Amino acid sequence: MRGGVLALILTALTACSSKDAPSGAPLDAGDAGADAPDPCKPGASITPYVRSGGAETTFPAGFRFGAASAGMQIEKGLVHADWYQWANVAGKVARGDKPDDGPDAFAHLEDDVAALVAAGAKAYRFSIEWSRIYPTRESFDKNEPDAAGLAAYHKLLKALRDAGIHPMVTIHHFATPDWLDDITKPKEPQGFERDEMAPLFGEWAKRMGKEFGAEVDDWITINEPLVLMVGAYLAGAHPPGPPLDIDRMFNAAKKLVKAHVAGYRALHESDTVDAGSGHAAWVSIAKHNRVFKPYDACEETDLTAAKKTDYLWNEWLYNALVFGDWDDDADGKYDGPNDKKADPALKGTVDFLGLNYYGVSTVSGALKLKYIGGLPAYDALPTDLPKTDMNWDIYPQGFRDVLRQLKKYSLPIYITENGVGDAKDANKSRYLAEHLWEIGRAIADDGIDVRGYYYWSLTDNFEWDRGFCPRFGLFRIDYASPARTRTPTKASALFKQIADSNKLTAATIDALPAYSSPTLCPGAR
């Protein structure tokens, strides 16, 4: 999904590269201090969270507190999506979970809007699903959209507007129509590998801008592009699923960039109406960035590997879309035959920066390769940090690190995702508070232009290859109940308190329970 094995596999492959490490945001040799007397001890670069100073942190007037979701994860009936086939036919999801057993969002539209209001949210990020609007290639080619699908999204948008909730719409959140991504033919070009994908995606974006532009100003073309690529072509955890094909991954990634650019230009062409934000189409991607730390801060191969991975994962794509700097071989040098600086075809094809943040990865350049079921994995890099139910390290201080790294792009930032899988609702409040605290300090102390925060997620949902075990929601879903009852978590009350007051105090955080042991999901890594 957003971290774990996907980032770790990419990390290891990048670390094994013989290319020189590119220059990027400086990566220190760790946060060594009183609690880490030996900076050369493996894992010493990852230190426990120490809250930055101050008695309270405040957020700017108009700061947008919201929540997020994605259609494939909360809707029912997306039978023409590749992920539906992946889960229901190929059985690629933990415990055999299937998306149609999830929150059933359209049947509970009023409940979810009421949940947003109850949590004090003023914004909601959701996706419009391509396969719902155009279930077949013929329907797309003839431009015969599914009327019921369009009506459902219009109904949601009206309900949000009536409740004073600002929409942000994603037009591709991992799921692709199965007529573009056929999981039965994984060796053939699928999805974003297809040469036709860029023009088709541009046309899809154009139609959505025309259809919904009077109701939507903020758009995300593609969610977590690099996670999508790594999941599909390295980890084999996403459709079409051929693992260990780095050449296919980079080929697809390059075509994905073209698709984003086509979508960006199409949305600006088709959505010319200000729906209430003071501007018409504002377009970006939702980019997953994370902190990469050397496992051994005194080992040159680990330092080099961390720098390489940081560049490839955190800078390569936004360098292209903001500055127009295209690094075709991703070596950070811009000296290859296909490399370009300030390419006008790419430059300025995001209007803001979408940031998804979930944590930290430790990196080693000298790991022993082992095989598990044909899939390469790497020896675990243990830390003493608290863990989520996905076994991800909780690392709030890294939020400020990645925000500082984005400052060079001089664009407004929206946190398009951040959240925690926590079935016991024991750690969610502290996680929320500590991460929001670091955002507030980044705004106040570092001058970073963060304008909003979308918690992942509004409700528990279908978490891709991990199924329903990870519970990220501000509202808990009772999957055993036909009514799919929504129950507020303790974190939803804290979210409302912060959103209503536009501030967070250190005393509030100090009063929260310390992190407890997670309830690890099957296959957590």
Residue 17 scores a pLDDT above 60: no
Say if 525 falls within a structural domain: no
Measure the CA–CA gap between 183 and 190, rounded to whole angstroms.
Answer: 8
Q: Is residue 250 part of a domain?
A: yes
pLDDT (0 to 100) of residue 2: 44
More confident of the two residues 303 and 82:
82
**Owner of token pair 């020189």:** 20
Ranges of H-type helices in 194-335: 197-212, 225-233, 246-270, 300-310, 316-318
Can you list the pairs that 198-202 forms with residues at least 24 positions away whose Cβ atoms lie under 8 Å?
Answer: 198/255, 198/258, 198/259, 198/261, 198/262, 199/262, 200/140, 201/172, 201/259, 201/260, 201/262, 201/263, 202/259, 202/262, 202/263, 202/265, 202/266
What the block records as the tokens of 332 is: 């950070």
C-alpha to C-alpha distance for 317 and 398, rounded to whole angstroms: 20
Concatenating the DSSP letter of every residue in 17-45 gives --SPPPP-S---S---STT-S-TTSTTTT
Longest dimension (CA), the chain: 67
Is the pLDDT reported for residue 124 higher than 90?
yes
Is the confidence at residue 370, as pLDDT, over 90?
Answer: no
Model confidence, pTM: 0.93
> What pLDDT does residue 460 have?
99
The distance of Cα 501 from the centroid of its chain, to the nearest Å, equals: 27
How high is the pLDDT of residue 368? Answer: 44
Structural domain includes residue 515: no
Of 257, 256, 232, the C-alpha closest to 245 is 232
**Residues 201-230: tens digit of each pLDDT:** 999 999 999 999 999 999 999 999 999 999
Residue 346 tokens read as: 């790419």
**Domain contains 9:** yes
Question: Residue 463: pLDDT band by 50, 70, 90 thresholds?
Answer: very high
The answer as to whether 523 is a domain residue is no
222, two tokens: 């593609």
Give the integer Cα–Cα distance in Å for 216 and 276.
8
Alpha helices in 337-475 (DSSP H): 397-406, 428-446
Provide the pLDDT for residue 20.
Answer: 42
Within 119-196, where are the H helices?
Answer: 130-133, 137-141, 147-162
Under the phi-then-psi rule, with left for phi > 0, alpha for psi from -120 to 50, and beta for the rest, what region is 202? alpha
Percentage with pLDDT > 70 across the chain: 90
Query: Distance (Å, rounded) from C-alpha 192 to C-alpha 26?
Result: 32
Average pLDDT over residues 268-280: 98
Query: Which one has a higher pLDDT value, 66 or 36?
Result: 66
Please give the share of the chain, as a percent, with pLDDT higher than 90.
Answer: 80
Long-range CB contacts (< 8 A, 24+ apart) of 514-517? 514/430, 515/386, 515/394, 515/426, 515/427, 515/430, 516/424, 516/426, 516/427, 517/387
In 3D space, the residue among 280, 412, 274 whose CA is nearest the CA of residue 350 turns out to be: 412
520 inside domain: no
Return the structure tokens found at 37.
């007397």
pLDDT for the residue numbered 142: 99
Which of helix, strand or coil describes residue 397? helix
Range in 66-80, 233-247, 444-458, 481-495 the model is least confident about: 233-247
| DSSP letter (8 states) at residue 354 | E
How far is Cα 413 from Cα 119, in angstroms, rounded to an integer? Answer: 22
Bridge partner residues of 413 (DSSP): 353, 450
What's the pLDDT score for residue 296? 87
Per-residue pLDDT, averaged over 268-278, amounts to 98
Q: How many domains does the chain have?
A: 1
Query: Is 521 a domain residue?
Result: no
Quick one: pLDDT at residue 246? Answer: 87
Cα 145 from Cα 133, distance rounded (Å):
5
Which of these ranges, 242-246, 276-280, 383-387, 450-454, has the smallest mean pLDDT? 242-246
Question: Is 44 contained in some domain?
Answer: yes
Angle at 98 between CA 95 and CA 104, to 5 degrees: 135
- 356: its two tokens: 């998804």
CATH of the domain at 506: 3.20.20.80
Boundaries of domain holding 34 = 4-510
User: Strand pairing of 375-378 and 369-372?
Assistant: antiparallel
- The Cα–Cα gap between 28 and 130 comes to 43
Please enumerate in sequence order all residues whose Cβ is within 8 A of that of 234, keeping only pairs 6 or more positions apart, or say none. 6, 9, 10, 13, 243, 244, 245, 246, 249
Which residues are CB-contacts of 328 (< 8 A; sequence separation ≥ 6)?
A: 254, 336, 337, 338, 339
Check: CB of residue 122 under 8 Å from CB of residue 166: yes
